[in-house]
């Protein structure tokens, strides 16, 4: 890990609310989950089923804890990212010996970050700053709780796969959570960019996780062109293959994440937030679930309208009436809440 961009002053985003960067579909899913009565109690019950091994205790025994004396560069980047995103409690960070470039946020009561040695070796300082900011975004948004739930449900589904009805019910919930988690990754890519405030480094990090360390042999413009070509693969068979490829995936593909982040930058939200135009924690009103549902539907609709994929075109044609029905359902929910 080397620094190829000198350190510089970055805008501190005082009391920034996660709503500033959260993807609409991410927010809608979390809003719906949080409104389910007893959901948190159910989550903690699930946690109790797997309490035999504490993730932090396992990390403490098998990895290296980041501090001023161990991985001091990583420690500095975490402290700085927490300062920029105005996180009061800086999470612990551990580095595991694993050649695969990965990062995760783990834990229910007190989340911590787990980085692999492969990630630390692969990225330069500014790229690593983006990834650490991404994980801090998970902490700020409270995602670790729901990711822990997904992990535990996956473990549970493997234990009861021989019970058809129970397995199918869990599989449906797991599939829904996986879809939410993919959207939460898009949210936290935005948080990573806000923490690092270097769009080039953010895109380089996505490109390196897809293609490795030979940065001189890759080109960001060409990399983003791959996303357009992927989207344009035109027949229904390819569309079905794309959907099947996502099964069991908690992360969107790196090329598509880079393109989505580029669209968010080009849309102007990134610069508006750096200019101080963003919701503050504690000052924002919780929107009705109907509003979140409308915003998520709008986001999905825009994605389908922009797509050149034949399956997406078919879904768009079939789904126009579904959008109308969804609007009526949202209106009904709004009426019930008022």
**pLDDT of res. 151:** 65
pLDDT value for 335: 57
Contacts of 203 by beta carbon, 8 Å cutoff, 6+ apart? 220, 223, 224, 258, 261, 262
DSSP string computed for 231-244: HH--SHHHHHHHHH
Q: How many CA atoms lie within 13 A of 332 on its CB side?
A: 6
pLDDT at 282: 84
How far from 246 is each of 86, 127, 131, CA to CA, in Å? 34, 26, 22
pLDDT at position 278: 96
Nearest to 203 by CA among 182, 214, 189, 191: 189
Q: How many CB atoms lie within 10 A of CB 94?
A: 22
Determine the length of the chain: 338
Residues of the chain with confidence (pLDDT) below 50: 2-6, 52, 162-167, 169, 235-246, 248, 289-290, 292-293, 296-297, 299-330, 333
């Amino acid at each position: 890990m080397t620094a190829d961009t000198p350190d510089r002053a970055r805008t501190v985003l005082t009391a920034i609310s996660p709503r500033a960067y959260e993807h609409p579909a991410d927010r809608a899913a979390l809003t719906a989950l949080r409104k389910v009565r007893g959901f948190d109690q159910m989550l903690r019950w699930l946690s109790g089923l797997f309490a035999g091994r504490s993730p932090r205790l396992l990390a403490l025994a098998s990895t290296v804890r980041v501090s001023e004396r161990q991985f001091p560069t990583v420690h500095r980047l975490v402290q700085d990212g927490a300062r920029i995103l105005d996180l009061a409690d800086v999470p612990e960070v551990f580095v595991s010996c694993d050649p695969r470039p990965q990062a995760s946020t783990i834990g229910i009561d007190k989340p911590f970050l787990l980085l692999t040695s492969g990630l630390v070796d692969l990225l330069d300082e500014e790229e690593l700053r983006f990834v650490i900011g991404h994980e801090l975004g998970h902490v700020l948004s409270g995602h670790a709780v729901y990711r822990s739930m997904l992990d535990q449900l996956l473990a549970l589904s493997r234990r009861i796969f021989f019970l058809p009805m129970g397995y199918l019910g869990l599989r449906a919930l797991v599939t829904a959570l996986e879809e939410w988690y993919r959207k939460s990754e898009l949210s936290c890519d935005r948080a990573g960019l806000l923490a690092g405030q270097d769009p080039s480094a953010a895109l380089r990090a996505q490109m390196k996780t897809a293609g490795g360390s030979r940065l001189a042999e890759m080109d960001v413009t060409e990399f983003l062109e791959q996303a357009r070509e992927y989207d344009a693969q035109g027949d229904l068979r390819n569309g079905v293959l794309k959907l099947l490829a996502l099964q069991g995936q908690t992360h969107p593909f790196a090329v598509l994440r880079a393109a989505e982040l580029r669209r968010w930058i080009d849309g102007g939200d990134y610069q508006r937030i750096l200019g101080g135009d963003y919701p503050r924690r504690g000052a924002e009103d919780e929107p009705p679930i109907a509003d979140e549902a409308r915003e998520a539907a709008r986001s999905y609709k825009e994605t389908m309208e922009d797509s050149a994929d034949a399956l997406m075109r078919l879904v768009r044609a079939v789904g126009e009436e579904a959008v109308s029905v969804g609007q009526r359902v949202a209106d009904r929910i709004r009426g019930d809440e008022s």
